[in-house]
Amino acid sequence: MTDVEVLTIGEVLSVLLAEPGVPLGEASRFDLTYAGAEANVAVGLARLGHTVAFASRLGDDDQGRRVLRELRGEGVDVDAVALDRARPTGLLLRDTLPTGISVGYRRAGSAATALTPDDLPSDGLRGARVLHITGITAAISSSARATVLAAAHRARAVGVTVSFDPNIRMRLADAETWREITEELASLADVLLIGADDAAAIGVADPIAWGHERGASTVVLKDGGRGASESSGGQVWQQPAIRVPVVDPVGAGDAFAAGWLSGWLRGVEPERRLLEAAAVAACVVATRGDVPGLPDPARRDKVLVGSEAVAR
């Protein structure tokens, strides 16, 4: 693997997206796309001009090879993606109904559930500035959990910043397991990017204090349409969400994380990186699917300048 700024590890799934306005159980036409929290962040960062690698396992099947081609086409380094002959690429089916999105997972026994620490790029952290992980990968299997943990420990050992987003999906594990996963990984994170809904799901009332208590020097609280805040160096900054017509909110948190990490990597000030993150998230919620709306810097800046949002 060539030197990259960011390494992410996780499961990328083929996605069947039901035709607009039709519930999943009734749809007969679907768009085939792909998504996965860490892959969404990887593509988001690549489109914003960063070098990023994604480590995973995909099925050695048509879907796996297709996703691999798409990621490679985005400029994501996929040298550390293994193709597994024995297990399939995971599949997610969902709709985009404004009244509540239905999701169906077909990922039990997927190639990514067989991730082990041996799948980590042996030299992958050398030169990287950030390891970005989420709780989703830790929740799909015990060996995937061990992989994410090993990656975080290795990153810390060589001084690579660990960025962690719990991304709690109650369909993948019970509340107690999520509490354990979130505690375990938050205590290894330098940067905690946490959704207000995720914090609520594990009974955390003050996510900023909670994150700092576990050792994160920076805590970014994402509160969807209510905006976001960052706490670092004893200061707190706030950013309202940028208002756009919401077409499909899925992937907004990952887009926000990519936008924020891009600002952090470029050394921009907290209020500016929160604003950039809000703009990247706005681009994604205004578009169907997790990945298509991820902007390049010119598009991000257009949304940012066009918004009336003011960093406070």
Q: Which is nearer to ligand KDG, 27 or 237 (CB)?
A: 27
Tell me which H or E stretch contains 16.
strand 13-18
DSSP character at residue 18: E
Amino acid at 177: T
Which residue in the set 4, 17, 33, 36 belongs to the binding site for ligand KDG (CB under 6 A)?
Answer: 36
C-beta of 207 vs 253, nearer to ligand KDG: 253
Among 62, 254, 290, 296, the one annotated catalytic: 254
Backbone angles phi, psi at 27, to 5 degrees: -70, 140
Helix or strand (DSSP H, E) at 164: strand 161-165
Name the one residue in this structure whose structure tokens are 């990945």: 291
Rule CB under 6 A: which of 131-150 touch ligand KDG? Answer: 136
Question: How many residues make contact with ligand KDG (CB under 6 A)?
Answer: 13
Q: Which of residues 151-180 bind ligand KDG (CB under 6 A)?
A: 167, 169
Residue nearer to ligand KDG on the CB measure, 40 or 218: 40
Which string of DSSP letters, residue by residue, matches 55-123? EEEEESSHHHHHHHHHHHHTT-B-TTEEEESSSPPPEEEE---TT---EEEE-TT-GGGG--GGGS-TT
Closer CB to ligand KDG, 35 or 192, in the complex: 35
Contact between 50 and ligand KDG by CB under 6 A: the answer reads no
Helix (H) or strand (E) holding 38: helix 37-47
Neighbours of 167 (CB within 10 A): 26
Nearest residue to ligand KDG, using CB?
Answer: 35
| Residue 190 appears among annotated catalytic residues | no
Tell me whether residue 35 or residue 181 sits nearer to ligand KDG (CB atom).
35
**Tokens in use for 29?**
């036409």
| Residue list 67-96, contact with ligand KDG (CB under 6 A) | 92
Of the residues 57, 181, 290, 309, which one makes contact with ligand KDG according to CB under 6 A: 290
Please check whether residue 122 is in contact with residue 150, taking contact to mean a CB–CB distance below 8 angstroms: no
Binding segment (CB under 6 A) for ligand KDG, from list 29-37, 49-57, 191-199, 207-215: 29-37
Give the span between the Cα atoms of 312 and 310, in whole angstroms.
Answer: 6
Shortest reach from residue 306's CB to ligand KDG, in Å = 25
Active site (catalytic) residues: 254
In the complex, the residues that contact ligand KDG under the rule CB under 6 A are: 35-37, 40, 92, 136, 167, 169, 250-251, 253-254, 290
